[in-house]
Amino acid sequence: MLERLNQAMAHIEANLDGEIDVKHLARIAHTSEYHLRRMFSALAGIPLSEYIRRRRLTRAASEVLSGHDSLLDIATRWGYGSNEAFARAFKAMHKVGPQEARNTKKPLQSQQILTFKLVVEGSTNMEYRIVNKDAFQVVGRGTRVPLVHLGMNPAIVDFIKGIGMPTLERMKALSDSDPEGLVALTSNQEGNEEGDHLDYFHGAVTSQNPPDDMEVVTVPKHTWAVFRTEGPYPETIQHMWRDVYTQWFPSNSYESVEGPTMLQTRINGDTATAELWIPVTS
Q: How far, in Å, are 108, 127, 173, 225, 276 from residue 230 at the CA level?
A: 44, 10, 24, 17, 11
Domain count for the chain: 2
Q: How far, in Å, are 9, 31, 41, 54, 78 from residue 16 at the CA level?
A: 11, 21, 19, 10, 8
Tell me the CB-side half-sphere exposure of residue 231, using CA atoms within 13 A: 9
Q: Which of the 8 DSSP states describes residue 31?
A: S
pLDDT of residue 125: 58
Verdict on whether the full-model pTM lies above 0.75 = no
31 CB burial (10 A radius; 0-12, 13-18, 19+): buried
Q: Does some domain include residue 265?
A: yes
pLDDT of residue 148: 77
What average pLDDT values come out for the chain (282 residues) when binned by 10 residues? 87 94 94 89 85 94 90 94 93 93 88 77 68 96 86 88 96 94 90 78 95 95 93 82 83 88 89 92 88
Q: Which of the 8 DSSP states describes residue 69?
A: S
| CATH number for position 49 | 1.10.10.60
**Which residues lie closer than 8 Å to 266 by C-beta, 6 or more apart?**
181, 272, 273, 274
Q: Does some domain include residue 245?
A: yes
Q: Are residues 68 and 168 in the same domain?
A: no
pLDDT of residue 194: 66
262 Ramachandran zone, left/alpha/beta (phi>0; psi -120 to 50): beta
Q: Are residues 136 and 193 in the same domain?
A: yes
Q: Does some domain include residue 121?
A: no
Q: Containing domain of residue 228, as a range? A: 127-281
| CATH number for position 266 | 3.20.80.10
Distance between CA atoms of 158 and 216, rounded to whole angstroms?
A: 21
Q: Are residues 134 and 261 in the same domain?
A: yes
Q: Are residues 160 and 232 in the same domain?
A: yes
Task: Look at residues 70, 104, 138 and tell me which one is the last residue of a structural domain.
Answer: 104
pLDDT of residue 84: 93
Q: Are residues 135 and 272 in the same domain?
A: yes
Q: Are residues 60 and 186 in the same domain?
A: no
pLDDT of residue 247: 81
**Which is nearest to 180 in space by CA: 56, 60, 68, 266?**
266
Task: Look at residues 104, 119, 153 and tell me which one is the last residue of a structural domain.
Answer: 104
pLDDT of residue 8: 94
Q: Are residues 14 and 69 in the same domain?
A: yes
pLDDT of residue 191: 67
Q: Are residues 154 and 266 in the same domain?
A: yes
Q: Are residues 26 and 58 in the same domain?
A: yes
pLDDT of residue 28: 95
Q: Are residues 189 and 93 in the same domain?
A: no
Distance between CA atoms of 203 and 139, rounded to whole angstroms?
A: 5
